[in-house]
Amino acid sequence: MRLISNMLDVRITKLTLENFRSIKHASIAFPNSDYEAVLNNSPSILGIYGQNGSGKTSVIMALNLIKRVMSGEQLTREDEKTIRLGTEKSSFEVSFLLTVSLVESEGKEIKPDTALMVEAYYNFDVVKLNPTDAKESFAGLAIENEVVKFRLSTPEGKVVVAKQVWFDTRKTQSDDMGIAFGSKQKYMILLNDDKANMAKAVELKKKASQMGASFLFMKEFQELLEPFVKDMESEQFVKKTTEEFFSHDTLSDLINSVENSDDELSDEEAEKFFYFTVFSTPMVVLRSLRWFSVECFHVIGTSTTGLVYGGNIPLVMIRKNRVDDRYTPYRINLQRDAVNCVPKEVFPRVRDTINQIGIVLSKVVPGLTIEVQEVQPDSNTFFVPYPNSIAIELFSCRNGTKMPLGMESDGIKKIVSIMILLIAAYNDPSVTVVIDEIDAGIFEYLLGEILKVLSESACGQIVFTAHNLRPLEVLPSKFVLFTTTNPEKNFIRIPNRGNSNLRDTYFRQIILGGIEEQVYNPTDRFEIDLAFYRAGHVGEEG
């Protein structure tokens, strides 16, 4: 059976923050983020715990900002509030592991012997502009000092492309060629020494700064690099460079020493070489990171949860087949208390998504499922669908009784809104789901059961914050981070001791201490009692 497709998986491996909100400096390593874990579809679960105001939500907001930047979105003036008071910029470094392998024509069987892995690193700063420049800027902020570097190697450890900087927008570059590339040689490789494209790159960089957007992840900039990718995709290039690929350690060496070859490749050899070679290009790494951020990286913050409580069900329609079905997720806010309009071409995806949620929901909350029903306007209704659309309404079904979903509890509505993303993370190694306050409105025992299943069987990556400590009784210690009172070291892991679960261990550290970093800023129950009394007797003597 021929190998016809490549399978790309992306996982976040590390996050480093400086001067972001209350965080002066923090570094977080994500569990199960090595090559073997990704190839084996091991889950990467990270729960963040700590007292109020200790930096949990800051991590969620940082990941959300990174997603937006790498998706090519603009910053807003609200983002200026995330820069730590007294500083002029926030700095970010995020590391990724990208793995690619060929699959059989059905898209089911992975071919480990065809696998490659890329360790990619993206650095950038969010900088406050001076008053003069801020007037010309959409956000009053700019994304500066962007750097993308990576290493490409085989599972056996053979380096195919050595770790090096390929894209670099820092102002320390020695000449105009440093507008985006690590060296003049890389500029010549990636833009084919095209002066017109170089001039376009200069203009785009200025435009990105005014927009408050990433230059490297700008769609227009990435399109400048397309001709190089197309050259590498050509059959002539594949045949021409086969022998050279397997005899050189780096891409630059390969390109500089390509010679004509009369050897013919079998279909399978050509296919294998094609994906190996194309994936080794810096452009494809850059484009893959943008694709991951748009399609597979989902952040549910408290603002989204507010939509749930405010009468909406934020629904994300995801891809069904991660090998062949790479459409951009369709996001829609469904009014839970009213009739909704959706485009006709979108309705089948909405229906399938609701059905997917119902399959899991009936097991999470026994006897409960949801369904979507098309509404036919009649003379008794004032609701008329707009052209090429379908009117729908959401219902919950429990023990044979159907009622509008809006009549269910906030906890049920919260579960419905996040369930499709948890389903995606369970089945797809490339999906990363980030949820702030995952426990809000959800029964603690049920939350523990859901997280236990995900920690044992999910293929993707899930990051969450919570106040409810039930998950600490079911999650391995490597899946949990705790905040500290040290601004230089905000997050630590606490290993289990003896037969105690992580919840008991955490309480012991709060009460007795015993580890290097303090995990709780002490409070006194009697002082709290006295404070309540004094607050009710302000102005009274004695």
Question: DSSP string covering 196-211, please?
Answer: HHHHHHHHHHHHHHHH
Helix segments in 113-174, DSSP class H: 131-135
Closest CA to 143 of 83, 59, 55, 98: 83
pLDDT at position 326 is 47
Give the pLDDT band (50/70/90) at residue 113. low
d(CA 138, CA 517): 41
Residue 246 has pLDDT above 50, yes or no: no
The pLDDT of 162-175, averaged and rounded, is 73
Q: At 13, phi and psi to the nearest 5?
A: -110, -30
Average pLDDT of every residue of the chain? 76
Residue labelled with tokens 């906890």: 411
Surface-to-core class of residue 488, CB atoms within 10 Å of its CB (0-12 exposed, 13-18 middle, 19+ buried): exposed
* DSSP type of residue 323: T
| Mean pLDDT in residue range 488-507 | 75
Q: In this predicted model, which residue has the larger pLDDT, 255 or 176?
A: 176
User: Could you tell me how far CA 508 lies from the centroid of its own chain?
Assistant: 34
Q: What is the pTM of this model?
A: 0.82
Per-residue confidence (pLDDT) for residue 251, from 0 to 100:
37
Residue 406 pLDDT exceeds 60: yes
Interval 260-279 mean pLDDT: 46
pLDDT at residue 387 is higher than 90: no
> What's the pLDDT score for residue 519?
75
Beta partners for residue 313, in sequence order: 334
pLDDT digits (tens, 9 = 90+) for 436-468: 988 887 888 888 999 999 999 998 999 999 888
Q: How confident is the model at residue 127 (pLDDT cuts 50, 70, 90)?
A: very high
Lowest mean pLDDT of 82-86, 164-168, 252-256, 412-416, name the range. Answer: 252-256
Residue 334 in this model has a pLDDT that exceeds 80: no
Least-confidence region, from 85-99, 157-171, 251-265, 301-315: 251-265
Regarding beta strands 89-104 and 44-49, do their DSSP bridges make them parallel or antiparallel, or are they unpaired?
Answer: unpaired
* Of the listed ranges 183-187, 278-282, 474-478, the one predicted with least confidence: 278-282
Asked if 44 and 33 touch (Cβ cutoff 8 Å), the reply is yes
Structural tokens at position 417: 């809104």
List pLDDT tens digits, range 88-108: 999 999 999 988 765 554 545
Predicted confidence band of residue 46 (pLDDT cuts 50, 70, 90): very high
- The residue with tokens 């809000």 is 440
Predicted pLDDT of residue 214:
94
In the predicted model, is pLDDT for residue 1 greater than 50? no
Q: Are 45 and 31 in contact (CB under 8 A)?
A: yes
Residues 6 or more apart in contact with residue 269 via CB below 8 angstroms = 242
Of 152-156, 356-360, 522-526, give the range with the top mean pLDDT.
356-360
How far from 80 is each of 89, 90, 144, 452, CA to CA, in Å? 9, 10, 14, 38
Q: What is the pLDDT of residue 296?
A: 85
pLDDT over 80 at 67, yes or no: yes
**pLDDT tens-place string over residues 198-231:** 788 888 888 888 889 999 999 988 888 776 555 5
Q: What is the mean pLDDT of residues 327-334?
A: 60
- Going by pLDDT thresholds of 50, 70 and 90, the confidence category of residue 493 is confident
pLDDT at 179: 63
pLDDT at 20: 93
> Is the pLDDT reported for residue 308 higher than 90?
no
C-alpha span between 383 and 366 (Å, rounded): 34
Distance between CA atoms of 300 and 438, rounded to whole angstroms? 9
Instruction: Report the pLDDT value the prediction gives residue 434, as an integer from 0 to 100.
Output: 93
| 108 against 81, higher pLDDT | 81
DSSP letter string over 45-79?
EEEEE-STTSSHHHHHHHHHHHHHHHTTPPP-GGG
Q: With CA atoms as reference, report the closest residue to 389 among 353, 350, 347.
A: 347
CA 185 to CA 201: how far, in whole Å? 16
Q: What is the largest distance, in Å, between two alpha-carbon atoms of the chain? A: 100
**Tokens standing for residue 39:** 């190839």
Radius of gyration of the chain (CA): 26
**Nearest-angstrom CA–CA distance, 404 and 413:** 12
**What's the mean pLDDT in 14-30?**
92
Mean pLDDT of 397-403: 85
Q: Could you tell me the pLDDT band of residue 66, with boundaries at 50, 70 and 90? A: very high
Nearest to 38 by CA among 542, 429, 508: 429
**3-state secondary structure at position 349:** helix
pLDDT score for 274: 46
